[in-house]
Copies of this chain bind each other. A is one copy, B any other.
Amino acid sequence: MKPDLKIGIVGLGTVGAGLVRLLQTHGGKIESRAGRKINIVAVHAKNKAKNRGVDLSAYEWVDDPLSLAHRPDIDVVVELVGGDEGIAKQLVERALSSKKHVVTANKSLLSKHGMALARAAEEAGVDLRYEAAVAGGIPIIKSIREGFAGNDISVVYGILNGTCNYILTEMRETGRDFADVLKEAQEKGYAEADPTFDVDGIDAAHKLSILCALAFGAQIAFDAIDVSGIRTITSKDIQFADELGYRIKLVGIGKSNGGVIEQSLEPCLVPISSALGNVEGVFNAVCVEGDFIDRSMLEGRGAGAGPTASAVVADIIDIARGYSSPVLGVPAKDLKPNKPMPDKDIISEQYLHLVVRDQPGVIADVTAILRDHAISIESMLQRGRDPGQPVSVVIMTHDCSRADIRAAAAKIGALGSIVAKPTILRVLPL
């Protein structure tokens, strides 16, 4: 039996407390699976006095979190502070440079500084592990890095934010509007007081940037992601989608084509009968398409104390067993530049929701603009008629480029007969 693996934990919020609880609950089981004992040596959080529902008395409490990065009696630093600067960044950098393994759940840190941190870990010859950073209850990092390692992965896409999926599911099931459901989600603790990171798609985009790098062997490039959130989705959009056989999901899409990479994070129409269409509530799911596996999908809880702590523990056990691999699957120096796909090459069917004044000539104007952008119409849906009053018109297009649909929508939105900014949603042919 190898000597105990000694860990220090910084951050004792939901995930940190969950991690302590997990290690306390399953100590014996984990020792058997890891081939050695996992020992919490020291912990740090902002507020020592706070009751976290777990007994911390057996662990040394340190006042300086950064001190854990240098202690000779610690093998692994677990960073659960969050944020892409400050303590989290300093702690991870210092831990790596003093040759400690690092386990983190910090997607924003990795999305922004992942390349430098990967290089630092590989230079130091230690592991930087982050299963908990993307869809905690789903072993998607391990699956892509190891399980699908024999494949050329061309596509990775999925539902990466449980808060948004919960809101969209609630909107559909109750017919209520975004603002109303968001407020309730905040009261229930499913959404943050400042929901920006979640509902504007930033959190999911952080995760997508990590998945794309790992899947395509490319450098992390958060800034190359085209991000839209779900604030503009109305209950009417959800009703229309339903009538057309679709559900609206916030989907992260990564595609690699001859070294050029698409990274999009946007609300999409997905078929009700598809696997992704059936992922509801706070659940996440990630699909991977590879040349030998064809298609594989993993579904589970993306957040919460239990699933996230489970992912952190999986990383710790891997380190205990001596599983060592480059941070992003291949050595950081071998990662290709992340060359973004131009909008003219991003092709899909589109859903276009217009709120128009019900007057003669509107549809003629709209369809003329679409024609001028070489966009052909698959179907058109209009509910109600009330001359002179605004009515909703939904147009489903055939395949067209993102560049064309955006240019056309901008022109359509400028027509005097169009009352609100047109809503464009990509249709995914799953």
Contact = CB atoms under 8 A, between A and B. Distances in A.
A150 interface: yes
A388 interface: no
A82 interface: no
Contacts of A326: 35
A307 interface: yes
Interface in A325-356: 325-326, 329-331, 334
Contacts of A334: 32
Interface in A120-147: 131, 136-139, 142-143, 145-147
Interface string A282-308: 000000001111111111110010110
A40 to B, nearest CB: 14
A72 interface: no
B294 A301 contact: yes
B32 A317 contact: no
A30 interface: yes
A168 B291 CA distance: 27
A115 to B, nearest CB: 17
Contact of A296 (B137, B309, B325): B137
In this complex, the member of A292, A293, A310, A334 whose beta carbon has the largest number of chain B beta carbons within 10 angstroms is A292
A22 interface: yes
A74 to B, nearest CB: 20
A84 interface: no
A292 B275 contact: no
B321 A325 contact: yes
A14 interface: no
Contacts of A131: 147
A313 interface: yes
A26 B298 CA distance: 24
Contacts of A318: 146
B297 A149 contact: no
Nearest to A317: B149
A217 B32 CA distance: 10
A425 B318 CA distance: 41
A314 interface: yes
Contacts of A30: 149-150
A334 B30 CA distance: 13
A151 interface: yes
B275 A317 contact: no
A290 B310 contact: yes
In this complex, the member of A18, A307, A324 whose beta carbon has the largest number of chain B beta carbons within 10 angstroms is A307
A406 interface: no
B275 A150 contact: no
A146 B147 CA distance: 11
29 contacts: A22-B150, A26-B151, A26-B152, A30-B149, A32-B217, A32-B331, A33-B149, A33-B325, A35-B325, A35-B326, A137-B295, A139-B139, A146-B314, A146-B323, A147-B311, A149-B317, A150-B313, A150-B317, A275-B275, A290-B310, A291-B306, A292-B313, A293-B300, A294-B301, A294-B307, A296-B299, A297-B298, A298-B299, A322-B323
Interface of A: 18, 22, 25-26, 29-30, 32-35, 131, 136-139, 142-143, 145-152, 217, 273, 275, 278, 290-301, 304, 306-307, 309-314, 317-318, 321-326, 329-331, 334
